Amino acid sequence: MNSRNKMVLLICPLFLISTLLSMGQSSFFSSGGAHTLALADNGTMFEGISSIYTNPAGLATINDFALDVGYNRRYNLEALSTVSLGGAKKIGASVFGVSVAQFGSSLYSESKAGLSYARKLFDNLNIGAGFNMLRYSIDQYGDTNVFTFEMGVQSKISNKLYLGVYVFSPAVASIVEDREIPTRYAMGLKYVASSKADIYVDISKTINRDPEFKLAVDYKLIDQFSVRFGGNITQERLNFGPAYMMKNGVGIFTGYSFDNRLGHSAGISLSYAR
């Protein structure tokens, strides 16, 4: 491949990545495969292993051990694909987790490796935190490593209403001069409408970007099968995905979204919990 063609291949994904960032969509906010995709990124009130990507406080609900692997292909472009893997183990009253995520291609990529900790302080309060290493790689330009952290809480307000708060990279962390890791704040609610339906509402704000308003529903058709759907009202994006939980603890999840401006995305996740 000559240098001109290689430069074209580099510029195209970088342009798309810049577009996503301008919309507040850092790749690190889309880890988790179908979990985040089907529920329109309403992750502040996730529980169990899926919360390792969106709010570590949710890990406190793990009873013993859990594992998750996910894949998200945004806008049907391989260069905008994210692969994520997370595992967590309860030790005493605490839960410890490890996660990795890889986004991009050989020309441009971002990766994240994280250590998480969660604990149930009271019957109605979970706390969690994570320490992350972020790596940015551009072909022929080298790599940059950045360290940052995240934290979150989840609280049971009543038997039907739950509240979560999450912040990613609250301290200034620079990638290069004049380019910083985007700080992101989120607040989410989960409302248990019935024995079959959970309603999620999320409001997130990335620094220097407009707030995002998201709504989703997880509806259980039968004991082991549910349908999840929702949308990002700010970005005019619709999301959908079925979920199947086997009795042996294995879960199969799929997700799909349609963005009115950029097209469709698809994701899949496999999980195990005991």
pLDDT (tens digit, 9 = 90+) per residue, 198-212? 999 999 998 878 899
pTM value is: 0.86
The pLDDT confidence band at residue 23, using thresholds 50, 70 and 90, is: very low
**Is the model more confident about 21 or about 73?**
73
Residue 5 in this model has a pLDDT that exceeds 50: no
The pLDDT confidence band at residue 10, using thresholds 50, 70 and 90, is: very low
pLDDT at 112: 92
pLDDT in tens, 116-174: 999 999 889 999 999 999 888 887 777 888 899 999 999 999 999 999 999 998 876 66
Query: Rounded distance, CA 221 to CA 227, Å?
Result: 7
Query: Rounded distance, CA 55 to CA 22, Å?
Result: 23
pLDDT at 19: 46
* Helix or strand holding residue 25 (H, E): none
Query: Rounded distance, CA 238 to CA 40, Å?
Result: 7
The pLDDT confidence band at residue 20, using thresholds 50, 70 and 90, is: very low
8-state DSSP, 17: H
CB 107 within 8 Å of CB 138: yes
CB 165 within 8 Å of CB 175: no
The amino acid sitting at 267 is G
Burial letters for 95-110: b for 16+ Cβ neighbours within 10 Å, e otherwise? bebebebbbbbebbbb
Query: Rounded distance, CA 266 to CA 76, Å?
Result: 7
Query: Rounded distance, CA 93 to CA 246, Å?
Result: 27
Q: Mean pLDDT, to the nearest integer, of 48-66? A: 96
Residue 222 in this model has a pLDDT that exceeds 50: yes
**Mean pLDDT (the chain, rounded):** 87
Burial letters for 169-196: b for 16+ Cβ neighbours within 10 Å, e otherwise? beeebeeeeeebbbbbbbbbbbbeeeee
Cβ-Cβ contacts under 8 Å for 142 (sequence gap 6 or more): none
Query: Rounded distance, CA 26 to CA 29, Å?
Result: 6
8-state DSSP, 76: G
Residue 93 in this model has a pLDDT that exceeds 80: yes
Least confident of 12-26, 53-67, 199-213: 12-26
